[in-house]
Amino acid sequence: MNISHLLDTRLTAAMRALGLPETAAAQVKPAANPDFGDYQANGVMSAAKQLKINPRELAQQILAQADLSDIAAKAEVAGPGFINIFISPEWMASQILAIAGPNSPLIQTADPAQTVVVDYSGPNLAKEMHVGHLRSTIIGDAVANILGYQGHRIIRQNHVGDWGTQFGMLIAQLEQLQTRDPSDDAAPKLADLEAFYRQAKQNFDADPDFAALAREYVVRLQSGDAQCLTLWQQFIDISLRHCEDVYHRLGVKLTRGDVKAESAYNADLPQVVADLRAQGLLTEDQGAQCAFLPELANKDGSITPIIVQKSDGGYLYATTDLAALRHRNAQLKAKRILYFVDARQGLHFQQMFALARKAGFVDADVELEHCAFGSMLGDDGKPFKTRTGGTVKLVDLLQEAEQRAFTLISEKNPDVPETERREMAHKIGIGAVKYSDLSKNRISDYVFNWDAMLNFEGNTAPYLQYAYVRISRILTAMAETETPPKFEQENNAENRAELAAELKHPVERALALTLLQFGEKLHTAGRDSAPHILCAYLYDLSGAFMRFYENCPILKEGVTENQRRPRLLLAQLTARTLKVGLGLLGIETLERM
Ligand code: ARG
C-alpha cells in the first residue's frame, strides 16, 4: 500500500474535477509532525496562487469534492491552505489485515513494471577485489533487490574489466610459471592474485625480454591467437572465482550468468566507431577519433573530447560502454539503466550518455542514471588504506569484520557452541559492514569505523538484528503457550473492529502506520536508487516497535485476549517486515544473539 500515492490520486482527481489545470497536484507527503495529522497535502497554495483565488477556500472545496471519509477520520484545512489528513483506525485495521497473512504480499506490485538493467560491481579482473569495489557491489545489489521486490524485471550486469594491456603481462607471467611447473592446474599459481600481479609487474619493469613478450601477447590476444586466448581464459576464470567467493561471503546475488565482460563487446567496437563516424559525430585529433560535444563545454568554453579510438587503432573504456549501452537498449530492452560507479567517473558517464543519445544508441524513453557514490574514508578522514598505506583487499576486510563480531558474540554468549558463534559472527559482521555503508546517503563520503558499525545501539545492523531477535522470542514464547494464538487472521468485520479498537492507543497506531508505509518507502528507495531510505525506515520501525512493546505488553498476565490478538498481529507483521527489509539490503537475520 502506498498511502501517499492513494491520497494524492484522490485529491488530485478532485482538483481536476474542480477544473484546475493539469499542472496542479495535491503533493501529498507523510506529515513531519503528528499534530498535523499523518499525511499532508502541500500543493493547494501554489494552485490557488496561479488562479488567484483564496487557497483556504480552494482547499475546502477540494476536500468536499474528494470525500476521504473511508480513509480518514479527519481531514482539515490548516494554515495558509495545507490539508491535514488523519487516517482512521478502521481503515488502518483493514489495510493491516490485508497484508498480515504469512503469505500476503507486504506491498503492491509496481504498475507498470519496468525492465531495469543494474550495472554494478564491475571489478577489474587483473587484480583481486579491494575495498574500492565494496560500495558499488553492495549498493547496486540492494537497489536491484528493492526494485525486483516491487515487481520490476531486473537484469544484473557485471561489467568486469577483463581486457587491456595489463593482460599481456599477466598471461606472460602465467605461461612462465606453467613452463616451469607444467601441471595443468593454474589455480594454485593464482591463489594469491595480488602477489601474482606484483610478480608480473616486477618482471615487466625489470626484464626487457619479459616486457617485450608481454607486449607481443597483447597484440596476439587482440588478433585472437588461440594459445594466448587459452591462457587469458584460464586467468579470467580464476579471477572470477575469487570475485564469486567475495560475492558469496557478502550475500550478493551476482552469478556467472550476470557477467557481461568488457571483452564481450570487442567484436562490436569497430561498428560503434563506424556508426558514430557515419553520423558525422567524430573528429580526428592527433590521429585519435574523438567526439566533441559543445553542449558539454567547460566553463571556459573548452570541450573535453570523448576519445573512442586511439591513434594506434585501440579502443577505450568509453567505446566499450557505448557498445554495452546499445546492447542493453536493443537486446535487453531496458527502460531504465542504472550504473553504480564511483562519483569520480561522473564526466565519463555524462559524456557517454550524451553521445549515445545523440547517436540514437538508446531510445528516447530510456532512463540513464549514473548512481554515483562517494569514498570510504579511514578514521583520519583520508581514503581507507592499510596501516602501511596499501589498498585493503576485500577478503581481508570481511575476515576482520567476522573476527571482530566473533569476539563480541563470544563475550555475550560464552556457552554457545563455537560453530554456532561463527555462524552468528558471519551474519553480524557482514551485516554491520554492509549496513554502515548502505545507511548513508550514497553521494557522500563516509568514515569506516568498526566500533560504530558493530554497536548494538543506534542505527546499526546489530541493533536491527537484535530487534528482530527480541520479537522472534516473543512470538516463539506465544506459540509455545497452552492455547497458541492464531496468527493468521481473516480480514473480516469482527477482526477489523478488534484491531481498530487497539489502534486508538497512540503507540500502537504509530506502529501500524509505520508498517503500512513499507511500500511507499520502498518505492522512494527504488526510484532514487537510495537504500539509505530503507535503512532509515527499518530503524524507525524498530523504534516504533520498542515503544509499542514497552507500553503494550503481550505476554503479561492481565492482558485480555482482545488486546493480545491484535498486538501479536502487529508484532508478527513487524518481524516479517524487518526480515524482508533486511533481506533486501542483503542482511541476514538470526534467531538468537
Ligand atoms: N571496471 C570499471 C572500474 O573499475 C567499472 C565498470 C563500471 N561499469 C561500466 N559500465 N562502466 O572502474
182: Cβ–Cβ under 8 A, 6 or more apart, which residues? none
| Residue 486 pLDDT | 65
pLDDT, tens digit (0-9, with 9 covering 90-100), for 255-300: 999 999 999 999 999 999 999 999 999 999 999 999 999 999 999 9
What is the whole-number distance in angstroms between the Cα of residue 136 and the centre of ligand 1? 10
For residue 484, what pLDDT band results from cuts at 50, 70 and 90?
low
Confidence of residue 181 (pLDDT cuts 50, 70, 90): confident
Query: What is the bridge-based pairing of β-strands 115-119 and 367-370?
Result: unpaired
Which residues, other chains included, contact 531 with Cβ-Cβ below 8 Å and sequence gap of 6+? Answer: 139, 142, 143, 146, 438, 439, 442, 525, 585
Mean pLDDT of the 426-430 span: 98
Distance 137 CA to ligand 1 centre (A): 11
| Å from CA of 341 to ligand 1 middle | 7
Nearest CA to ligand 1 atom 6: 122
Minimum CA distance residue for ligand 1 atom 11? 321
The whole-number pLDDT of residue 485 equals 66
Taking the C-alpha atoms of residue 248 and residue 81, their distance in angstroms, rounded to an integer, is: 53
Q: What is the pLDDT of residue 190?
A: 83
Residue type, 398: L
Give the chain's mean pLDDT. Answer: 94
Cβ of residue 341 lying under 6 Å from some atom of ligand 1: yes
**340 vs 140: CA distance, rounded Å:** 6
Helix (H) or strand (E) holding 74: strand 72-78
| Residue pair 68/7 in contact by the 8 Å Cβ criterion | yes
| CA-342 nearest atom, ligand 1 | 12
- Percent residues over pLDDT 90 in the chain: 86
Q: Is the CB of 140 under 6 A from ligand 1?
A: no
Rounded (5°) CA angle 3-31-586:
60
Could you count the other beta carbons within 10 Å of the beta carbon of residue 456? 14
Separation of CA 159 and ligand 1 centre (Å) = 6
What is the DSSP secondary structure assignment for residue 295, as one 8-state letter?
G
pLDDT at 505: 92
- Looking at residue 349, its pLDDT comes to 98
> What's the pLDDT band for 50 if we cut at 50, 70, 90?
confident
| pLDDT surpasses 90 at 444 | yes
Task: Over range 475-499, report the average pLDDT.
Answer: 82
Tell me the average pLDDT across 502-530. 96
Task: Give pTM, 2 decimals.
Answer: 0.95
Pocket test for ligand 1, best of 341, 348, 362 (most atoms within 8 A of CB): 341
Of 31, 45, 39, 32, which is closest to residue 10 (Cα–Cα)? 39
Q: Helices (DSSP H) in 181-207: which residue ranges?
A: 193-206
User: Residue 160, class by beta-carbon neighbours within 10 Å (0-12 exposed, 13-18 middle, 19+ buried)?
Assistant: buried
Residue among 155, 159, 355, 370 to mutate when testing ligand 1 (max atoms within 8 A of CB): 159
- Write the pLDDT tens digit of every residue in 229-244: 999 999 999 999 999 9
Confirm or reject: Cβ of 162 under 6 Å from ligand 1.
no
* Cβ neighbour number for residue 111 with a 10 Å cutoff: 7
Residue 41 has pLDDT above 70, yes or no: yes
Strands 115-119 and 153-157: parallel
User: pLDDT-based confidence at 228, cuts 50/70/90?
Assistant: very high
* Grid cell digits, residue 432: 554491520
Q: Ligand 1 centre from 123 Cα, in Å?
A: 7
What is the distance in A from the centroid of ligand 1 to the CA of 340? 9
Please work out whether the CB of residue 588 comes within 6 Å of at least one atom of ligand 1.
no
